[in-house]
Amino acid sequence: MNIDHTILTVITFVPLAGAVLLALLPDKGKLMQWGALAVTLITFALTLHLPFHYDYTAAAGTFQFEQNREWITSPAIHYHLGVDGLSMWLVVLTGFLAPLGVLISWNAISDRKKLFYILFLLQQVAMLGIFVSLDLFLYYAFWELSLVPMTLLIATFGRTVNRRRAAIKYFLYTFIPSAILLVGMLWLYASTGTFQLPDLAQLAATHSISGNSAALWLASLAFLVAFAVKVPAFPLHGWLSDAVAEAPTAAVMVLAGKLGLYSILRFSFSIFPDQSRQIAPLMIALGAIGIVYGALIALVQKDLKQLAAYGTLGHVSVVILGIFTFTIAGLDGGIYATLNEGIGGGALFMLLGILYERYGTYDMRDYGGLAAKLPWMVTLFVITTLSVIGLPMLNGFVGEFLVLTGGLESLITHHTRWTVLATTGVIFTASYMLWMIQRVFYGDVNDNTADVPAPDLDAREHLSLWPMAAIMLLMGVASPVWMRAIDSAGTYLAREPQQTQPAPANVSRPPSVTGSRAILAASNHDISGTDRKADDAAGVNLIPAAADATKKELRIRNIATIWTNSTLKTDSKNGTEVKK
């Protein structure tokens, strides 16, 4: 039985069916925990179908496991799902983190358990829907849905009296830019007559969305600002520390990073390629500043959750820096670092939650000398710390190395200088993480916690933490397993937009096109043909700087290949340009 054309629907809505089931069951004993665990394990098992049946030889820019049905005739809205090398591993990561979030919340949530696990499952539905939607209207429905469960989780299950303030702050920060995002989407539909991402990407590649450059700029900013707030990118991170401080562990594991970063890569880069490249110098500067700023603020924190919150800001800023270089190495590294943030950051928040369950405080000044009492906990803390700071052989190193490599590939000196500044963030990250380990687990035993009867990790906690540690090692030594799909997405996003004249300003609705695979294939063919004709006409008159940049990029990519112990796929178009 071939389920390739329905698997994404099943994956997305199994958590919704689980939430409905939990709503019908009585809240007795551990029934809610076992029910949520069963639903999330089934969802994770279903997500594994994707990497095992993914066609890694497919052309870059094509979507797989597609399901495209007309939903509403007017306006033209489709139920269109699909994944590629960018979104496939994010779907698997979301499925992987969900059962771990249930396990880590097993005893931490003792009141209103039914409400907690229903909201948690609804958050899974929203995240999965965002990663697989290829229709802007459908995507926006899931995007808005993601705000509601998270806001309620923070407001209802926050740990202090400030939880409602933090929830309102999070909601306003994310909802207001989302309203502006909707305006941008409606303008796109008015200009093109479609919400379909493949169609919009094809029109963007030929500069056919609109001849009004000012309107295009405003629409691109509406998209970028909404996504940057969700990341959050510096300096739009005002909601982050309060939300992280109040959110329960299972919620904070998925709070920052993945949704906003994915949306920038998927929608901003595909629909507004020229505008994204023009604003790239600013975003690279903000990424570099965010890395250093986040690390320095984390370095002076006394609260463990605040330290982790500002550390998260630094890690997502690494991704911002990498993807806006628009180099293959930078984009590959940025996508890989997004996965790493989910693994390393998720493990860190899980460990902090376990520590809080035992001692009831996040204040580092109340800790000290715990290594002798909690040997398993300190072991996993150290492994997670080494992953977060980018130790070679662990997952964090691969993403950071490729991001910094991509930044140094740029022809623009401005980019290189910001990348050099960003490398100092590696030192600062190691400083605050190792300082945290020393303060909490070593040194003199603190009187505030010396007499607290705190046991080491139990079987449930081992079961939730060791899979994370195993993935950190696997992603460090076997990165080509993930890179096979990621590199095709990075190569596609790094391509230069087709250089053609913009559409006339009075052209509001270009001829409709159908079939995303056919559109993208035709787009690639047309772009290649246009490039060949232009090269023939110009006598392949490549300027020396461009030739040197190509050689430099190839040399650095070979270095990256040595670290991953495998040859990444070479984009055929890039290869053609080198030969010329």
Q: List pLDDT tens digits, range 387-410.
A: 999 999 999 999 999 999 988 886
CA distances from 245 to 164, 304, 363, 534 (A): 12, 9, 12, 56
Contact 323, 265 (CB under 8 A): yes
Residues 385, 433: Cα–Cα separation, whole Å: 6
Residues 276, 262: Cα–Cα separation, whole Å: 14
Residue 509 has pLDDT above 80, yes or no: no
CA distances from 556 to 189, 409, 486 (A): 41, 8, 18
Cβ contacts of residue 214 below 8 Å, gap of 6+?
none
Cβ contacts of residue 145 below 8 Å, gap of 6+?
122, 125, 126, 129
Of 424, 240, 406, which is closest to residue 321 (Cα–Cα)? 406
Q: List pLDDT tens digits, range 299-350.
A: 999 999 999 999 999 999 999 999 999 999 999 999 999 999 999 999 999 9
Q: Which pLDDT score, from 0 to 100, does residue 499 have? A: 55
Of 210, 217, 186, 206, which is closest to residue 508 (Cα–Cα)? 210
Contact 411, 335 (CB under 8 A): no
Question: Which H or E run includes 292?
Answer: helix 280-299
Question: Which H or E run includes 72?
Answer: strand 64-72
Measured in degrees and rounded to the nearest 5, phi and psi for residue 77 equal -120, 130
Q: List pLDDT tens digits, range 40-71.
A: 999 999 999 999 999 999 888 899 999 999 99
Q: List pLDDT tens digits, range 83-120.
A: 999 999 999 999 999 999 999 999 988 889 999 999 99
Joined tokens for residue 274: 């020229």
Residue 454 has pLDDT above 90, yes or no: no
| Percent over 90 (pLDDT), the chain | 65
Cβ contacts of residue 33 below 8 Å, gap of 6+?
102, 105, 106, 113, 117
Q: What pTM, to 2 d.p., does this model score? A: 0.83
Measured in degrees and rounded to the nearest 5, phi and psi for residue 80 equal -120, 115
Residues making up the chain, counted from first to last:
580
Joined tokens for residue 56: 């890694």
CA distances from 479 to 42, 56, 211, 484, 562 (A): 26, 15, 43, 9, 11
pLDDT band at residue 79 using 50, 70 and 90 as cut-offs? very high
The mean pLDDT of the chain is 84
Q: List pLDDT tens digits, range 150-187.
A: 999 999 998 888 899 999 999 999 999 999 999 999 99
Q: Which pLDDT score, from 0 to 100, does residue 15 have? A: 96
Question: Which H or E run includes 80?
Answer: strand 77-83
Summary count for the chain: helices (H), strands (E): 27, 2
Joined tokens for residue 296: 């320095």
Joined tokens for residue 174: 């994310």
Q: Which position has the token pair 């006598």?
A: 539
Three-state SS at 539: coil
Contact 106, 251 (CB under 8 A): no
pLDDT band at residue 82 using 50, 70 and 90 as cut-offs? very high
